[in-house]
Chains A and B, each alone.
Chain A
Amino acid sequence: MSTNKVIHALYNDDDVLMDAVKTVKEANHHIEEVFTPFPVHGLDKLLGLPHTRLAICAFIYGLLGLSFAIWMTNYMMIENWPQDIGGKPSFSWIVNMPAFVPIMFELTVFFAAHLMVITFYMRSRLWPFKEAENPDPRTTDDIFLMEIPVHNNEEELTALLNTTNAVEIKVIEKH
């Protein structure tokens, strides 16, 4: 018996999928992965996935952007080429700070957004020309797919999945 065997159960509705995930979880089977054409609300909780830490990264990236903006405005406008800002030639960063708030805000957002996207791609192992990992191209269209590993319980799993309104159930040898 190969341990690489998996069952693919396909669904055509997110609510049906959610109920199926509940059923499989209640029967104490491990769900390897679920492929969906769009993010399904509440699915991560149902699958017991840990909460994303991307938000923490975003906060740190935001602080980084803020710090960069403070350094940049100070270097450009005060040190390297001192500017008379708004007719107030104070040549002090803190006194001219109101003028730099929009820059600080924008760079905070810029750093948080771009670095967060890059982090997400790296964490998800996505890069240009990468071959798709989803087992069925229909999951990018309108089909929801649940992947369950088989451990000598193919009949039991198939019987269980048959009760969950799956549109298609197939056993696949994974390489």
Chain B
Amino acid sequence: MYQFSSKLKISAIALMVIGLIGIIIGFVSAPSTEAEVAEILAHQESHGAHGNTHATKEIAHHDAHAEEASHDAHHEVAKHDAHEAGAHTEGHSDHHLAHVLHQLQNRPWAAFYVALFFFTFVTVVVFAFLNIQRVAQAGWSIVLFRVMEGISGFLPYVSAIFIVFLVITAFHGNHLFVWMADGTVDPTSANYDELIANKSAWLNTPRWLISGIIYLVGWNVFRYLNRKYSLLQDNAGDLVNYYKNYKIGVAFLAFFIFTESMSVWDWIMGLDPHWFSTLFGWYVLATGLVSALTVIAMVTVYLKSKGYLEVVNNSHLHDLAKFMFGFSIFWSYLWFAQFMLIWYADMPEETVYFVQRFDDYKLLFLGMIPLNFILPVLLLVNSDFKRIPQIVLGVGTIILVGHYIDVFVMIMPGTVGDQWGFGITEIASILFFLGLFIYAVFTTLSKAPLIAKGNPFLHESEHFHY
């Protein structure tokens, strides 16, 4: 049995407290009036021409909204017009202030949301990976099942926070999702947006909220059942619970492959409602898979360094690292497949997504590629390196940082535009969820033996040798 050491528990609680304080600071310090925004923008302007280019872009934005045609197609055109005119009228700058106010008010929400989504998604994908192992009746990974179950134990905590977040968002507690604004589907409204109106069969708040809750509750029900039968199997004389878990795994994977895509459309792609990508669900799944395998490997290495999991040998670590390596390439493939088709076709309504990321997030957007592709490939390509815990931890850290940036660059442009930063709230959100993660995962781990001894393939796993 694993003992949750009081030192680790205190660190986890400290992380949560520090994180919570940082998040509250972020919300309190967000500007509440346009006067404050004007001051902030004046400050930015004194640091260079940043504010100026920003203003022209925003005018373009609103011009395009006013016209009922494709916002994105007009984006570039309007931008040039604004440049040529070289003048900002009073009405425009008022409009602009209101827009920046919304973006700055969104920032603490978005910072919190990036961390919330990242941790929730990684946790549910760890659970999905556990079920893939069950359904495939894999032999090598049985000694890691309790680690995966422990990480899945984080799911109820984040899901509860996520549902509260969804309800607040649906009731206009924040403005992260522009399509939720009043009047976007009303042709008589100044806010009317034809593209959003055309998608309103899917993009409407009641549907969004209800399905969001269904995804999360569904995942949690499967996790609860899986854990229950896994524990019952430990002391069972027959394999009834084992077969039940097999069937639950099949049902979960069928449920998950649909809800994963749909949740990603709802929670991420909906932030840029004019844009769409048909492989977006896969792309985010790849981010989740590589991060999930990294988290499993890291928790395993930690437990092993504390003297637990005696039967886990370096072949198990090697195979986890091999998955990290493989899924890094899979992510790069999907990232590039999405980028190249849009780059090749060069249609304004599709390129807008990448134009915004190249303009305002260039360092992060391009910096992801060495972090998520080149470094993992070069560092993990060697079979011997995959067995060294320090290298797995090091590359794992690179991968987690890289994929956190990936999620950051997915969420931030649609919510805060170029008003992004990496300050107290962004860091505090990570610390808060990291603390909660440590607390929840190691509490779950301490509640059951670290080896699922009732599993019929346990012997094969103990002697697994690559």
Asked if A98 and B346 sit within 8 Å, CB to CB, the answer is: no
Query: Smallest CB-CB separation from B333: which chain A residue?
Result: A105
Asked if B343 and A86 sit within 8 Å, CB to CB, the answer is: yes
Q: In the assembly, what is the distance between CA of A42 and CA of B344, in Å?
A: 48
Asked if A87 and B346 sit within 8 Å, CB to CB, the answer is: yes
Minimum Cβ distance to chain B for residue A64 (Å):
16
Query: Smallest CB-CB separation from A86: which chain B residue?
Result: B344
Minimum Cβ distance to chain B for residue A55 (Å):
8
Q: In the assembly, what is the distance between CA of A98 and CA of B345, in Å?
A: 12
Minimum Cβ distance to chain A for residue B207 (Å):
36
Contacting A88 at CB < 8 Å: which of B336, B346, B465?
A: B346
Contact digits for B359-393, partner A, Cβ 8 Å, 1 yes 0 no: 00000000000000000000001010000000000
Minimum Cβ distance to chain B for residue A84 (Å):
12
B residues in contact with A87, CB < 8 Å: 346
A window 136-165: CB within 8 A of B = none
B window 338-362: CB within 8 A of A = 339-340, 343-346
Q: Does A99 contact B (CB under 8 A)?
A: yes
Q: In the assembly, what is the distance between CA of A42 and CA of B466, in Å?
A: 8
B residues in contact with A86, CB < 8 Å: 343-346
Minimum Cβ distance to chain B for residue A73 (Å):
14
A-B contact count (CB 8 A): 19
Q: Does A101 contact B (CB under 8 A)?
A: yes
B residues in contact with A59, CB < 8 Å: 381
Q: A86-B345, A86-B346, A88-B346 are in contact. Are A101 and B340 (CB under 8 A)?
A: yes
Asked if B343 and A98 sit within 8 Å, CB to CB, the answer is: yes
Asked if A98 and B465 sit within 8 Å, CB to CB, the answer is: no
A residues in contact with B344, CB < 8 Å: 86, 98-99
Contact digits for A74-108, partner B, Cβ 8 Å, 1 yes 0 no: 00000000000011100000000011010000000
Q: In the assembly, what is the distance between CA of A87 and CA of B345, in Å?
A: 8
A residues in contact with B340, CB < 8 Å: 98-99, 101
B residues in contact with A98, CB < 8 Å: 336, 339-340, 343-344
Size class of the contact patch on chain A: 10 to 19
Minimum Cβ distance to chain A for residue B375 (Å):
16
Q: In the assembly, what is the distance between CA of A98 and CA of B465, in Å?
A: 41
B residues in contact with A41, CB < 8 Å: 465
A residues in contact with B345, CB < 8 Å: 86
Minimum Cβ distance to chain B for residue A67 (Å):
16
A window 98-135: CB within 8 A of B = 98-99, 101
Q: In the assembly, what is the distance between CA of A55 and CA of B383, in Å?
A: 10
Minimum Cβ distance to chain A for residue B353 (Å):
15
A residues in contact with B465, CB < 8 Å: 41-42
Q: In the assembly, what is the distance between CA of A88 and CA of B343, in Å?
A: 10
Query: Smallest CB-CB separation from A99: which chain B residue?
Result: B344
B window 309-343: CB within 8 A of A = 336, 339-340, 343
B residues in contact with A55, CB < 8 Å: 383
Q: In the assembly, what is the distance between CA of A92 and CA of B465, in Å?
A: 50
Q: In the assembly, what is the distance between CA of A59 and CA of B377, in Å?
A: 12
Query: Smallest CB-CB separation from B381: which chain A residue?
Result: A59
Q: In the assembly, what is the distance between CA of A99 and CA of B339, in Å?
A: 11
A window 13-52: CB within 8 A of B = 41-42
Q: In the assembly, what is the distance between CA of A98 and CA of B338, in Å?
A: 11
A residues in contact with B336, CB < 8 Å: 98, 101
Q: In the assembly, what is the distance between CA of A119 and CA of B48, in Å?
A: 59
A residues in contact with B339, CB < 8 Å: 98
Contact digits for B22-34, partner A, Cβ 8 Å, 1 yes 0 no: 0000000000000
Query: Smallest CB-CB separation from A62: which chain B residue?
Result: B381
Q: In the assembly, what is the distance between CA of A14 and CA of B345, in Å?
A: 56
Minimum Cβ distance to chain B for residue A58 (Å):
10
Minimum Cβ distance to chain A for residue B97 (Å):
37
B residues in contact with A101, CB < 8 Å: 336, 340
B residues in contact with A42, CB < 8 Å: 465
Minimum Cβ distance to chain A for residue B419 (Å):
29
A residues in contact with B383, CB < 8 Å: 55
Q: In the assembly, what is the distance between CA of A101 and CA of B344, in Å?
A: 12
Q: In the assembly, what is the distance between CA of A86 and CA of B341, in Å?
A: 10
A residues in contact with B343, CB < 8 Å: 86, 98
Q: In the assembly, what is the distance between CA of A98 and CA of B341, in Å?
A: 9
Contact digits for B213-249, partner A, Cβ 8 Å, 1 yes 0 no: 0000000000000000000000000000000000000
Query: Smallest CB-CB separation from B340: which chain A residue?
Result: A98
Contact digits for A53-78, partner B, Cβ 8 Å, 1 yes 0 no: 00100010000000000000000000
Minimum Cβ distance to chain A for residue B137 (Å):
20
Q: In the assembly, what is the distance between CA of A55 and CA of B381, in Å?
A: 10
Minimum Cβ distance to chain A for residue B410 (Å):
20
Q: In the assembly, what is the distance between CA of A59 and CA of B382, in Å?
A: 10
Question: Which 6 residue pairs of A and B lie closest in terms of their CB atoms, listed nearest first?
Answer: A86-B344, A98-B340, A98-B343, A86-B346, A87-B346, A101-B336
Given contacts A41-B465, A88-B346, A98-B340, 16 further A-B contacts (CB under 8 A): A42-B465, A55-B383, A59-B381, A86-B343, A86-B344, A86-B345, A86-B346, A87-B346, A98-B336, A98-B339, A98-B343, A98-B344, A99-B340, A99-B344, A101-B336, A101-B340
7 examples of A-B residue contacts, CB within 8 angstroms? A41-B465, A55-B383, A59-B381, A86-B343, A87-B346, A98-B336, A101-B336
